Amino acid sequence: MQIKNRFIILAGLLILLTQCGPQRRLAGRAGRIPEAPDKRYSFALNRNSHISPFTIHNIRIQYQIPGNSTRLKAAVKLKRDSAILLSLRAPLGIEVSRILYTQDSITMVDRRNKSVHYTNYSNFSGMLPMDFDYEVLQTVFTGNVPAGYQVRSLPEPANTRDTIKNETYLGTYRAPDGSENMSFYGWIYNDIIKPSYLVFYKPNRAKKLKVHFLSYEQDERGWLPKEVEIRSDNNQYNNTLKLKMSQFDRGGSVNMDLDIPSSYKILSY
């Protein structure tokens, strides 16, 4: 009898452990995923989280390049399809930079050098090892599939990841006409219909931005990305950006003030 009871306890613990995995996702599929790419895209868009305004109070950042690794802390304020305010802090909590991203511009306040930099995504990407745009940032912080893109009738591309579990290929999508945004293709989780792995790219460019959503967190309004890994591949070297996000706050008002002292030097690119 004791052996039987011991087995029941162990079996119960095993079930609890498997249900408390790091991804905290619902079991089972959230409706049948359509086979046609255009319908599959609409299906995923309908499950985007309604986020605006939105604040992430705590983000731990680890940025790795060959031979070097940097750790920072951050916070994000977001107004959907409008603006994203990123505050970067050193490990001791001192703000080192505040960056305002809009659909077509970037304003960066450099606290260390007491300067303000005004630029756009095309010019800014030339200074960085990672290409990105506003839609990429919004997708990373919200876990929403980018809206307004055009379906391309292309086969599922080869995937270099070791395993693909509980995922379905979403499709390949071209940026809207007249937009300088990156196109993308990727996969979604079957159970929560949220991005699992998206690849952003610009035609005729070697660099690709690979965004892997490792885990999500659920609140009363839906699913939010909790851990994201971003890799930039330009066929020469890889850069990795790891984000761990917590303390989400939806609703209310958000202050997007850059707090620029009048003594700061102004630079435009």
DSSP codes joined into one string, 67-86: TEEEEEEEEEEEETTTEEEE
Does residue 90 contact residue 117 with C-beta atoms inside 8 Å?
no
pLDDT at 65: 83
Bridging pattern class, strands 265-268 and 115-119: parallel
Where are the chain's structural domains?
Answer: 33-254+263-268
How many CB atoms neighbour CB 233 within 10 A?
17
pLDDT at 129: 67
**Which of helix, strand or coil describes residue 226?**
strand
Q: Please state which architecture CATH assigns to domain 33-254+263-268.
A: Clam (2.50)
Say what the pLDDT of residue 10 is.
32
User: What is the model's pLDDT at position 130?
Assistant: 79
28-46 b/e (C-beta count within 10 Å ≥ 16 → b): eebeebeeebeebbebbee
Mean pLDDT, 10 residues at a time, the chain of 269 residues: 37 33 44 88 93 92 88 95 95 92 96 96 76 94 96 78 78 91 95 96 84 93 94 76 95 90 95
- Which residues does 195 contact at the CB level (< 8 Å), separation at least 6? 139, 143, 145, 170, 186, 187, 188, 189, 211, 213
Give pTM, 2 decimals. Answer: 0.85
